[in-house]
Structure 1
């Protein structure tokens, strides 16, 4: 190893090995544009060889930035928001940033304004909002922002940076799959429609179903929980006319499957069920769940890169929607009347 005479490698040793100035090393560390690819490669190789770790305190003093991203997350115990938060933390760490989360919980007196005030008081460089309600976004529009803010939501916004998993495409994949099996009467059990993701899935479901000539019927508005879905399924008086159910998330789907089983109905023999998320246990449900996989890692990386670009006053990447994937398992089959 080249760091002879020092227990801890420093930026000048990196510069010597890479054959550049220490200012060039600093520019590479801070992801400055216009660094030649060959120069960047040599610096990164020298950093790896020395196992160099930048002094974040010194960097913060030099750049007048804290290297910290604040995150406001609603429903922090649910799979989607938790997975996005974890992905943002991993992406931020890889970029040399730390994350300070603030959770807005059901019944908590903490408001979006309080959360923003708390984070800006701590000196964050930017704020990311995960799994927002429409009411929270409306409240954030009234907050005077001193740092860039990104909201995880499907639609572009004049006030905030936005990026999301493509909810519209995910819902369309579900409808296309069920229609390809022969279903023409599909029920949607949605999440709470104040949640932007729930509303996006509900709208996309109706649009795609209408394009296929699927019977239009009122949706059932749920609360994301397996308990709500179980109670709905167990309360069915008879085998319904609809032959498939699109559940707004996997928790709802597993509650439905449990309730349908206890009611004496077979999945997928009597009713097909599709979820949304692809939680780790989805493949182990009985039956294994057909669902939409969301790439939370890609979403976290895109969110952090957009915020870093805003913080560092670089061109903002234009990746705004992350693709989804339909994972077909055993909870879906052709409808009972055509088998």
Structure 2
């Protein structure tokens, strides 16, 4: 076989008949041949590798986002290198970006979910395509995220449609763009319905912080509906209400956000806002790869959410409406 024919088989082009392709692939298996990625990169100026910088690998949403990006990258024929950073400061993120660049990547996905992704605080490279995931205020960078505001609005509208006069909110940490977007969506939906937002409860995404918020909320007899910014905090709210013998949803309705698989196994099964993590991952990779050929284009994509209704929400108790 000529080197050109073998090259066509290795690169997967269609200009090789099936019999010849099978003979070349059989010889490759027999010889244990593997294409030299470095040599191919020198010829094509492409490394077939994506760097992913993430600041949080503990929350459900972050883990699912990473899984989705890695699967989408593999499906497109790209290796995906994870570079975590544990701190939320500019120098730590800059260091993580440099570590990713040292691994010879074609582009970067930045998923730090923090206010560092605003303005000039985040030192993003100009010589590589970059996609920011998990809510960004940057106007000149491509961006993919769940439509956080839409999801919060769906939660509030669902509860108001059940007759609840207002909806209390257990928000995520103020440094998180996702938490801020969800809080904004909660406020906007209440304002649209002519409802004044009640005092907010602040958590840190953990079930413990949701429990602490739930203990405070259960002391208020006017609370009939709670929207928690993620399912873990909603789980803590459910426990706090259960301990006080406050029935859910007969007395208080609860909605979460994420629709993690375990949400259907909570007691009662949790009504939640479903995020399409797989779609976010695919979109992030697609936008990044498109940026390899068109560096100037800025693509901004919000992936819709959907409400999943289970047994943790019901019509407002009559006493609350009299």
Classify the TM-score, shorter chain.
0.7 to 0.9
Partner of residue 233, structure 2: 252
Partner of residue 161, structure 2: 180
Partner of residue 12, structure 1: 8
Structure 2, unaligned stretches of length 5 or more?
Answer: 29-33
- Higher alpha-carbon deviation: 224-233 or 122-131: 122-131
1:234-266 deviation line (CA, Å, top 9, x unaligned)? 345634312100000000100100111112211
CA pair 15-108 structure 1, distance change in 2 beyond 3 A? closer
CA contact (8 A) 2:218 2:244 kept: no
CA pair 214-10 structure 1, distance change in 2 beyond 3 A? farther
- Residue 330 in structure 1 maps to residue 311 in structure 2: yes
Q: How does 1:124-139 map to 2 (within 5 A)?
A: 124-138=105-119
Q: CA RMSD in A?
A: 3.1
TM-score normalized by the length of structure 1: 0.81
CA pair 179-332 structure 1, distance change in 2 beyond 3 A? same
TM-score normalized by the length of structure 2: 0.85
- Residue 283 in structure 1 maps to residue 264 in structure 2: yes
What is the distance in 2 between the residues matched to 1:108 and 1:148?
A: 22
What is the distance in 2 between the residues matched to 1:178 and 1:254?
A: 18
Partner of residue 96, structure 1: 77
CA contact (8 A) 1:226 1:252 kept: yes
Partner of residue 216, structure 1: 197
CA pair 254-17 structure 1, distance change in 2 beyond 3 A? closer
- Residue 228 in structure 1 maps to residue 224 in structure 2: no
- Higher alpha-carbon deviation: 167-176 or 53-62: 53-62
The count of corresponding residues between Structure 1 and Structure 2 is 308
Structure 1, unaligned stretches of length 5 or more?
Answer: 22-41
1:262 to 236, 243, 268: 243
Q: Secondary structure at the match of 2:318?
A: coil
- Residue 63 in structure 1 maps to residue 52 in structure 2: no
Q: Which has the higher contact order (CA 8 A, sep 6+)?
A: 2
